Amino acid sequence: MNKIIEIIQKKENKILENVIYCKYYISEFGDKNIIIFNNKNDVGQKIKKIIINKKEETNEKIKKGKYKFPNNGYFYIEFHMDETLNNLSYLFCDVKNLREVSLPSFNNNIENMAHIFDGCCFLKKINFSKSFNTKDIKDMSYIFKGCESLEKLDLSSFNTENVKNMSNMFEGCRKLKNLDLKLFKTSNVEDMSYMFESCSSLKALDLSSFDTENVTNMSNMFSACISLNEINLSSFNTENVINMSNMFIVCSSLNEINLSSFNTENVEDMSNMFNGCESLNEINLKSFNTEYVKYMSYMFSGCKSLEKLDLSSFNTEYVTYMSEMFSGCKSLNEINLSSFKTENVTDMGNMFSGCESLEKLNLSSFHCESKDAVEDMFKDCLNLNELECDNEIIINEYNGENKHSKRIDLFHNNLNKYNLLGYHNPLSGLGIGFGNYL
């Protein structure tokens, strides 16, 4: 397509501003009356003329962004835009037949590009002119969401200094193998949630140039980046982030991660943060301030390779959900929870289920008043034989199909350790609770 553009430009002896060049493929099967642009923001009013295969088409033939193609094959379309155009949002959203597009410079500075290529699942190439000006754009959310066929993306011309929203920007770019964002300026960005979600072919990501001082939402930022094994977040300032839920969920190839720059003093949600990071063999979270965190459920669930975990710096005073927090951590044999306060926790169900390598566990700081909150807390902890706590414990035993509770007072005879092997141990999926609820 670039050669076609060059020929046109040479012929007219000038660079064609305000003209968007597109390549479409029309299948021989199915309806040929298809969408060629999305008119959600009345962008059609900003199109002065449309040329299809060098023939100008009338407005009567193009209604609500649809055009009836005469036959199948490739078609080249030029959109000649009005000089007052400043909004490109949704322009090609869900245009499935788009294969290639070139964006030129525009007379007016573009202010919004949100959703411009959202859902263009067969789009293979995007060419941005070097003079394509993005300095006034505040919203870049969902720009490339669902562009499953894109393998390369050159964003070196992007000026992102005024952007506030980058949420879902590259979500679902499954074939994108490399992404150079070193020139991105992100000091004004507030939302980075789902930014790289399901970029399943990305193996490395260097975000060391990112300034995240004003970001409040990082939920699902790297979720399902299943090939990612190298990530640089050394510049991340997360002091204003409130939501980190699902941030690295199912980053299954990630074996190490440095989060020493993270300031988590305002985070409220860490649920599922490392869920499914099955290759992660160590993680240092000593710098984490969890004073205001409310949700920690599934936080480390499925971290199959973790052997040790020191959470002695965690403040869990306001946490209400810890269900399945360590479930499926089958290699975990050492865990420090000495600082945990659980008075406000309403759900610890399956908290350690599947931790089959745990032999000893110190829960002396734990307290729980709700019997329902501890359902199957130690399910399938096949080697757990010693539990230390300061409260009495309740072992839920099974007699056939009926379950009853047995109360064990750990302070009897000044004992503060109890060997579970002499009882119906949670090895077969029994729940253990703490408190005085019986």
User: Residue type for 13, please?
Assistant: N
Average pLDDT, the chain: 86
Q: What is the dihedral of CA 182, 187, 189, 192, to 10 degrees?
A: 50
Q: How many CB atoms lie within 10 A of CB 400?
A: 5
pLDDT tens column, 325-370 = 999 999 999 999 999 999 999 999 999 999 999 998 988 888 877 6
Higher pLDDT, 394 or 132: 132
Query: pLDDT at residue 321 above 90?
Result: yes
Structure confidence at residue 390 (pLDDT): 61
pLDDT band, very low/low/confident/very high, at 434 (cuts 50, 70, 90): very low
Q: Which phi and psi (to 5°) does residue 8 adopt?
A: -60, -45
Distance CA 321, CA 295 (A): 5
Give me the pLDDT at residue 437, please.
29
Confidence (pLDDT) at 391: 53
- Inter-residue contact 97 to 75 (CB < 8 Å): no
DSSP H or E run through 7: helix 2-12
C-alpha–C-alpha distance, residues 249 and 226, integer Å: 9
pLDDT band at 374 (very low <50, low <70, confident <90, very high): confident
- Full-model pTM: 0.87
pLDDT bin (cut points 50, 70, 90) of residue 147 is very high
